[in-house]
A and B are shown apart, each in its own frame.
Chain A
Amino acid sequence: MTNGFSRAQVEAVAALANLELSDSEIELFAKQLGDILDYANQVQKIDTTGVPPTASVVTRHSADRADVVVASLDRTEALRNAPDASQQSGLFKVPRVIG
């Protein structure tokens, strides 16, 4: 399916992942991701007609619980690790979103 990865493909995936890559990283990942996917392509040969997917091995119980309000993380503590926050207003601060 792959036969190598182009620079443009690597750049498109990096944009989806919010990851800035250097020129040398783009070069390296084009080769390495191509190699890894070529190897991984062996799964395509396996007949999976009618086989249900396993997203999780948890099958035996339901995780439902009563909808009860309980204490959660304190806002001051939640903001404490932020590189830029206003404790006073209780906000995470981020750079400009709209140009």
Chain B
Amino acid sequence: MIGVGTLREVRDDVRAGRRKATDICEQVVARIKAVDGKLGAFNTVTAERALASAAAVDRHPERATLPLAGVPVALKDNLSTRGVRTTASSKILEHFVPPYDATVVTHLERAGAVIVGKTNCDEFAMGSSTENSAFGVTRNPWALDRIPGGSSGGSAAAVAAQITPLALGSDTGGSIRQPAAMCGIVGLKPTYGRVSRYGLLAFASSLDQIGPLTQTVEDAALALSAIAGLDAADATSAPEHVPDYAAGLNGDPPTLKIGVPRALLDEGVDAEVSAAFNSALEVLREHGARLVDVTLPYAGAAIPVYYLVATAEASSNLARYDGVRYGFRAAAARSAAQSGQTMHDDLRAMYGATRAQGFGPEVKRRIMLGTYVLSAGYYDAYYLKSQQVRTLIRQDYERAFEHVDVVAMPTSPIPAFKLGERLSDPLQMYLADVFTVSANLAGLPAISVPCGFTSANLPIGLQLIGRMFDETTLLAAAYAHERHTEWWKRHPTL
């Protein structure tokens, strides 16, 4: 076996005493050393801390009974880890060491998981290719000359390359689902509020949500049960009961109704993606699901609404990175040579220079767009208007869910593209998020599962979108597809 197996296999073996958590952890660290030079999935590897926490699982019998006992996990580098640098793949946070853990990190460690490192991503999660990182690109394990998707590309590559059975990502407009699709794995964006965002470096606070990337639907369910729940430290986290999501996965749901927004899928979808999507629907239909046509009249506006709302929120969230509190401050424009001290002309000059040197081009572009959208005279025309259309997009889904249990569409209209291919045209890059952003705007849970490969052997993802807080039905539908297909069993050769 190349990897350590699925989350479920690792957990069951550790619980039964068949494998030791430390052996599993050592195997993961060795695999990172062996393959990450090719992939660039990790920004930081926490081997020592991981081995210590694995040893604690082996030493204390009560830890070996935990729901994620001994499960190695990789964290997107925008999730705060106490004492371990957390960069969001930005130069401005290159040396930032958080003084606290994100709530999801606390939950994972309490559940017995072993954190092995921090994964590369687009800077501050802004991007769809993981090319916007200050620390280099991550490569797709299926084709090293291609992007892994983004922004959680390092997390997706780590799971696809069988380095870890579980990784966490964050999803603001598709950043878990799209890289999961492009790397041939499962990626789940929970309902907004299902998982606490405390300790997630904020990009767009009304859209951001943390979720798992795994090899199987069951693993995603197990991980979600571990990280979900109300948190006093995040006022938007929800009080809804957290069920045992994995327990809901047994066989085919008897009366599943799947909505298909055909009108959306006519244009701009790669032919091989389209064919794989249709086969996936056929699999579900053969096993008892009913396919129902639905219309989402405002879905066409989702991309502009998303990029107006998300950049507005980002420009506000990223104002805090100003060279005062978080590590990086630009060297002064002029220095007081005598004293050896550096001095800026004034505070504003220091802000401007620090942000100019600390942020990469995509982050600057979005800060500029968001600042403009929020500026006097344009607020109503852009920001308020997009929030109104956001309401119409939510209502589209509310109407659809009166007739169906989940809505299906491809995760990405295209398979993984070549590194560098789209960097010079940001608008083209944004348009590729067409199927993922609406779940964030409406706050809905959504999952991407492997549903085929192109003739060039690139993975294709099926996306299912569910009702608010109904991850149970969403996961059951995804599981029904997985049980009757073999795509998820394929692994890339590195």
A residues adjacent to B (C-beta < 8 A): 1, 10, 13-14, 16-22, 25, 29, 32-33, 35-37, 39-44, 46, 48, 51-58, 60-61, 63, 65, 73-74, 77-78, 80-84, 92, 94-97, 99
| A56 contacts across to B, CB distance below 8 A | 206, 236
A94 pairs with B305, CB closer than 8 A = no
Which among B232, B345, B367 is the interface contact of A19 at CB below 8 angstroms?
Answer: B367
CA of A42 to CA of B344, assembled, Å = 43
Residues B364 and A33 in contact, CB atoms below 8 Å apart: no
Q: A48-B385, A54-B394, A58-B192 are in contact. Are A17 and B367 (CB under 8 A)?
A: yes
Measured CA separation A53–B384 after assembly (Å): 7
Known: A29-B365, A51-B389. 14 other contacts (CB 8 A): A13-B372, A18-B352, A29-B368, A39-B427, A46-B301, A52-B391, A55-B387, A56-B206, A61-B239, A77-B99, A81-B96, A82-B326, A84-B329, A95-B344
The answer, yes or no, to whether B44 is at the interface (CB within 8 Å) is: no
Instruction: Pick 5 A–B contacts, CB within 8 A, sort by A.
Output: A13-B368, A17-B367, A36-B369, A36-B426, A63-B236
Docked Cα-Cα span, A95 to B344, in Å, equals 6
Contact of A58 among B193, B232, B319, B392 (CB under 8 A): B193
- A44 CB contacts on chain B under 8 angstroms: 381, 385
Contact B367 A81, beta carbon cutoff 8 Å: no
Chain A residue nearest to B343 in the complex (CB): A95
A73-B100, A81-B96, A83-B329 known; A57 and B387 CB under 8 Å? no
Whether the pair A97, B371 counts as a contact (CB closer than 8 A) is: no
Give chain B residues whose Cβ lies under 8 Å from the Cβ of A14: 368
Minimum CB–CB distance for A70 against chain B, Å: 9
Do A42 and B304 contact each other (CB < 8 Å), given the known contacts A13-B371, A19-B367, A58-B193? yes
Residues of chain A within 8 A of B298, CB atoms compared: 46
Give the distance in Å from the alpha carbon of A29 to the alpha carbon of B361 in the complex.
10
Q: Which of B193, B356, B391, B426 contacts A32 (CB 8 A)?
A: B426
Distance from A3 Cβ to chain B, minimum over Cβ atoms (Å) = 14
A95 near B349: Cβ-Cβ < 8 Å: yes
| 6 tightest A-B CB contacts, nearest first | A57-B443, A53-B387, A63-B235, A20-B352, A83-B329, A48-B388
Our pick among B99, B364, B386, B389 for the contact of A74 (Cβ within 8 Å) is: B99
CB within 8 A of B325: which of A37, A48, A81, A97? A81
- Which of A25, A60, A92 makes the CB contact (< 8 A) with B324? A92
CA distance A32 to B96 in the complex (A): 31
Kindly state whether residue B328 has any CB partner on chain A within 8 Å: yes
In the bound assembly, the distance between CA atoms of A55 and B388 in angstroms comes to: 9
**0/1 interface trace, chain B 178-216, chain A, CB 8 Å (1 if under):** 000000000000001100000000000010000000000
B481 to chain A, nearest CB (A): 27
Are the C-beta atoms of B388 and A94 separated by less than 8 Å?
no
Nearest opposing residue in chain A for B351, CB measure: A18
Given contacts A40-B307, A43-B386, A51-B388, contact A16 B426 (CB under 8 A): no
B residues lining the A interface (CB < 8 Å): 95-97, 99-100, 192-193, 206, 232, 235-236, 238-239, 298, 301, 304-305, 307-308, 315, 319, 322-329, 343-353, 355-356, 359, 361, 364-365, 367-369, 371-372, 375, 381-382, 384-392, 394, 426-427, 430, 441-443, 468
Interface pair B389/A43, CB less than 8 Å apart: yes
A36 to chain B, nearest CB (A): 6
Among A16, A18, A84, A95, contact of B375 (Cβ-Cβ < 8 Å):
A16
Given A18-B319, A36-B427, A48-B385, check contact A92 B371 (CB 8 Å): no
Asked if A92 meets B390 with Cβ closer than 8 Å, knowing A17-B367, A19-B368, A97-B347, the reply is no
Tell me the bound Cα distance from A78 to B307 in angstroms. 33
Q: How far is the CB of B124 from chain A (nearest CB, A)?
A: 14
CB distance from A18 to the nearest CB of B (A): 4
**With A21-B356, A29-B368, A36-B426 as contacts: A94 and B385 at CB distance below 8 Å:** no
A51 to B389, CA, bound (A): 8
Q: How far is the CA of A1 from the CA of B348 in the complex (A)?
A: 31
Query: A36 — which chain B residues lie within 8 A by C-beta?
Result: 307, 369, 426-427, 430
Bound complex: CA of A48 vs CA of B351, how far in Å? 39
User: Shortest Cβ distance from A80 into chain B, in angstroms?
Assistant: 7
CA distance A42 to B386 in the complex (A): 10
> Are A21's CB and B392's CB within 8 A?
no
Q: Is the CB of A52 within 8 A of B324?
A: no
> In the docked arrangement, what's the CA distance between A13 and B376, Å?
11
Q: Shortest CB–CB separation between residue B312 and chain A, in angstroms?
A: 11
Contacts of B301 in A (CB 8 A): 42-43, 46
Set A13, A40, A65, A84: member contacting B382, Cβ < 8 A: A40
Question: Shortest CB–CB separation between residue A23 and chain B, in angstroms?
Answer: 12
Asked if B391 contacts A54 (CB within 8 A), the reply is: yes
Q: How far is the CA of A77 from the CA of B307 in the complex (A)?
A: 36
In the complex, A66→B51 CA distance in Å? Answer: 40
Most interface-central of A21, A84, A94 (chain B CB within 10 A): A94
Cβ–Cβ < 8 Å partners of B239 in chain A: 61
| Chain B, Cβ-Cβ closest to A96 | B346
Cβ contact within 8 Å between B238 and A58: yes
Closest residue on chain B to residue A38 by CB atoms: B427
Question: Nearest Cβ distance between residue B193 and chain A, in whole angstroms?
Answer: 6
Which residue of chain A lies nearest to B393 when distances are taken between CB atoms in the complex?
A54
Chain A residues contacting B381 (CB-CB under 8 Å) are: 1, 44
Contact of B350 among A57, A63, A78, A95 (CB under 8 A): A95
Closest to A51 in B: B388
